[in-house]
Amino acid sequence: MAELSTIARPYADALFAAARADRSAAGALDQWLAVVDEIAAVAGHPDVAQAVRDPKLTNEQVYALLAGLVKSRLPAAVENFLKLVIDNDRIAALPEIARQFRRLKNEAEGAADCLIESAFALSEQQVNELLWGLARKFGLKLKPEVKVDAGLIGGVRVTVGDHVLDTTVKTRLAQMHAALTAA
């Protein structure tokens, strides 16, 4: 079977094209992203995933179930998209479609998601200083998500797209361990 990312790409591209064509409201891409994320979260829930695999359910019933669980109002194009995904038995790809939609939106805006993991809570000033340097390095407007992971012991790990900058004590200790045991 094909990789989910390969399956999701044409769906995400088509959905993004429809979202860009939607000039109904300011911030339409943000609204579409919120709806797509919500659909993906609903479809990705284990109980929902199990329910929609029930062979007794028709495609219309699966659509009614998913659309009923989504709190946001679905634009007509998103309704059609969801029906198409269901008809083509691609519900499992919805979380990946949402990830690719987010990536396309970020690319169009010259931005990127940025995950900052730290062993300790960072102040707003520390986060802003880190973002300033990272934005210069990557040449992108960064959208940060900050998480605290005490297992890192110290330092920070930053993930921007496929790039990982890791200055954590945990990683340095693992590198030292590997160097000492390799000899």
Tell me the domain boundaries of the chain.
Answer: 4-107, 111-182
Q: What is the mean pLDDT of residues 160-179?
A: 92
What three-state secondary structure class fits 45?
Answer: coil
Q: How far is CA 132 from CA 137, 139, 142, 144, 145, in A?
A: 9, 10, 9, 11, 14
Indicate the pLDDT class of residue 9, thresholds 50, 70 and 90. very high
* pTM of full prediction above 0.85: no
CATH of the structural domain 4-107, one choice from 1.10.520.20, 2.80.10.50, 3.40.50.300, 3.30.70.20: 1.10.520.20
H or E element: which one contains 177?
helix 169-182
Is the CB of residue 123 less than 8 Å from the CB of residue 153? no
The single-letter DSSP state of residue 74 is: P
Q: Which residues pair with 148 in a beta bridge?
A: 118
For the stretch 137-163, pLDDT in tens is 999 999 999 999 999 999 999 999 889
For the stretch 25-82, pLDDT in tens is 557 889 999 999 999 999 999 999 999 999 999 999 999 999 999 998 888 899 999 9
pLDDT computed for residue 22 by the predictor: 80
Residue 116 CB-density burial (10 A; 0-12 exposed, 13-18 middle, 19+ buried): buried
Q: What is the mean pLDDT of residues 159-173?
A: 92
Alpha helices (runs of H) in 1-151, residue ranges in sequence order:
4-21, 28-44, 46-52, 59-69, 76-87, 94-109, 124-138
How many CB atoms are closer than 10 A to CB 71? 8
Residue 181 CB-density burial (10 A; 0-12 exposed, 13-18 middle, 19+ buried): exposed
